[in-house]
Structure 1
Amino acid sequence: MDDDSIAGRLAFLRAAEALKHTLRSGHTSNGRPESTAEHSWRLCLLALAFEDGLAGLDLLRVLKLCIVHDLAEAIHGDIPAPMQQDPAAKSAQERQDLAVLTAPLDAPLRAHFLALWEEYEAGATPEARAVKAMDKLETILQHNQGANPPDFDYGFNLDYGQRHTAAHPLFARVRALLDEETRARMRS
């Protein structure tokens, strides 16, 4: 690997650092707003924790998809799901932002990251569909665990990502348990 490739990768990593301070709508258990980087990390951990229930999937590909699925948020931030009015516009903006973020990378690595994101976005493979489901489950888990503001809409969890989580028996069962937690949070 030449110095230009190394420098480009370091520039990319510096830009991706923005995910550490890109905030999401949920809060951590101590009440601090959660970052996109924290969400992506726990999404990877969730995939590892349920690896034995993901027979037939390429775990390395699953982890790669987990890591890149929200990379574009380093540019324009996270749009909370309840505020996403136009999924096509959101997708187009993220595609554009990812192109900007990955611009310093050498062409093969840039193409690899962009292809992973496109795979996730399209739900084109069993791995991408699993990551989409786990992304929804991790979000609901965080909403239920977080010390959220008093006006936090827990009811949103009950419909959020249903079509993704219903597509696999493991995810449907995890979802059922998380929905029970959501209802308990709504009652408290």
Structure 2
Amino acid sequence: MERIADFLFEAGMLKRIPRSGYHFLGGGKESIAEHSFMITTIAFALSRMDETVDAGKLLAMCLVHDLPEARTGDLNYVQKKYCSADEARAVADQARGLPFGKEYAALVEEFNACETLEARLAKDADQLAFVLDLRTLMDTGHNGADKWLAVVLERLVTEPGRKLADAIVSRAWDDWWLTGYSE
């Protein structure tokens, strides 16, 4: 039980570790935990768009995909040109002694391999979270976010992911607030 408690404390570190890519945008910020929450929420929606998806696996994959960053930190695109993180070692060390360690390690490995439908949808959810942030930054006057949008949209690999991206891009970040309620 102590090993599970330690694992949970380690997962909690993700609330304190900022994602590093936002420095290039000139605005926006989030912790790794906030990012994981958002992509898991997106994955829930994506799982309802295709009835062949193993929703439980997809959600679990999104929830744990960045847990190794509790040990490695978050390296952005530029940092990865100069530094590398030993994610496999971090996952192995995190999984050691956990009753669900093999399942955890398999989920991260499947996410990284991006070969199954669930992994492709998880990767799309990862990108769609960025699309949402970029749209919000664009709508709130941050210059430069529009430059990144086309790049991120090109990374989408599933039809449900592309359809959801089209809907996100066609809406303003606050449309839900202005039109999404009734009195």
State the 1:156 CA deviation.
2.1
Instruction: Provide the alpha-carbon RMSD of the alignment.
Output: 2.9
- Listed one character per residue, the Cα deviations across residues 51-103 of structure 1 (whole Å, up to 9, x for unaligned) are 321220000000110011111111121122354338xx75x622222223333
Change (3 A) 1:136 1:82: farther
Partner of 2:8: 13
What are the ranges of 5 or more consecutive residues in structure 1 without an aligned counterpart?
1-5, 183-188
Q: Which residue of 1 aligns with 2:149?
A: 157
Preserved CA contact (<8 Å) 1:26 1:142: no
TM-fit CA distance, 1:150: 5.3
* Conserved? CA contact 1:16–1:71, under 8 Å: yes
Q: Is 1:114 equivalent to 2:105 in the alignment?
A: yes
Question: Which of structures 1 and 2 has the larger relative contact order (alpha carbons within 8 angstroms, sep 6+)?
Answer: 1
Counterpart check, 1:75 vs 2:77? no
Contact kept in structure 2, 1:26 and 1:143, CA below 8 Å:
no
Task: Check the 8 A contact 2:47/2:58 in 1, yes or no.
Answer: no
Q: Which residue of 2 aligns with 1:173?
A: 163
Contact 2:47 2:54 in 1 (8 A): no
| Larger strand percent | 1
Decide whether the 8 Å contact of 1:140 with 1:178 is kept in 2: yes
Question: TM-score, normalising length from structure 1?
Answer: 0.75
Identity, % of aligned positions = 27
TM value normalised by structure 2? 0.77
The answer to whether the Cα contact below 8 Å between 1:47 and 1:134 also exists between their aligned partners in 2 is: yes
Which of residues 47, 54, 58 is equivalent to 1:51?
47
Q: 1:156 to 1:17 in 2, by over 3 A?
A: same
- The 1:133/1:64 distance shift into structure 2, 3 A limit, reads same
Mark the runs of 5 or more structure 2 residues left unpaired by the alignment. Answer: 173-183
